[in-house]
Amino acid sequence: MLKRAQHAMRQNMDRKLKDLELSAPQYSVLTSIEGEPDASIARLAFVSPQTMQAMFVKLEQAGLIARAPDAERGRILRTALTHQGREILALARVAASKSEQIAREAASDDAVHILRRIAEVLS
């Protein structure tokens, strides 16, 4: 049941983000880069490092992120949102928020409480 709900949420977010030419995982990556640019973003986005690298290439080609070698450790690439990336992320947040609102409105207060509790316990 949770997997079906999560899948439906993902599909709804993908439809809402489509106009911005983003997928739900790309939105997650942009959000992670903004919040913790040096964190293990692949882990936060629930994708493999290989998939993450492909996503970085697409986001960089779209002008949403910039990657540059670390000043101290040249082999490490630092990733940051570009101005365009910050603008798209702001629009994407509105779209994602609409999906979340639809899900909240469809759920009873008890169901929301249970889902929050499950998230807390599993974190």
Give the model's pLDDT for residue 95.
93
Give the model's pLDDT for residue 81.
94
Give the start-end residues of each E strand in 52-96.
65-69, 77-81
CB 16 within 8 A of CB 98: yes
* Number of structural domains found in the chain: 1
Determine what percent of the chain falls in helix, strand and coil, rounding each to the nearest 5. 70, 10, 20
Give the model's pLDDT for residue 84.
97
Q: Rounded to whole angstroms, how far apart are CA atoms 36 and 76?
A: 15
User: Which CATH number covers residue 51?
Assistant: 1.10.10.10
Give the model's pLDDT for residue 44.
66
Task: For residue 67, give its domain range.
Answer: 2-122
Local confidence pLDDT in tens for the 123 residues of the chain: 778 888 888 898 899 999 999 988 899 889 888 876 555 776 667 777 788 888 899 999 999 999 988 788 777 788 899 999 999 999 999 999 998 888 888 888 888 888 888 888 887
**Residue 7 CA: distances (Å) to CA of 2, 10, 12, 46, 83:** 8, 5, 9, 14, 31
**Residue 95 CA: distances (Å) to CA of 20, 51, 65, 66, 89:** 9, 24, 20, 23, 10
Give the model's pLDDT for residue 118.
84
Give the model's pLDDT for residue 37.
57
> What is the pTM assigned to this prediction?
0.77
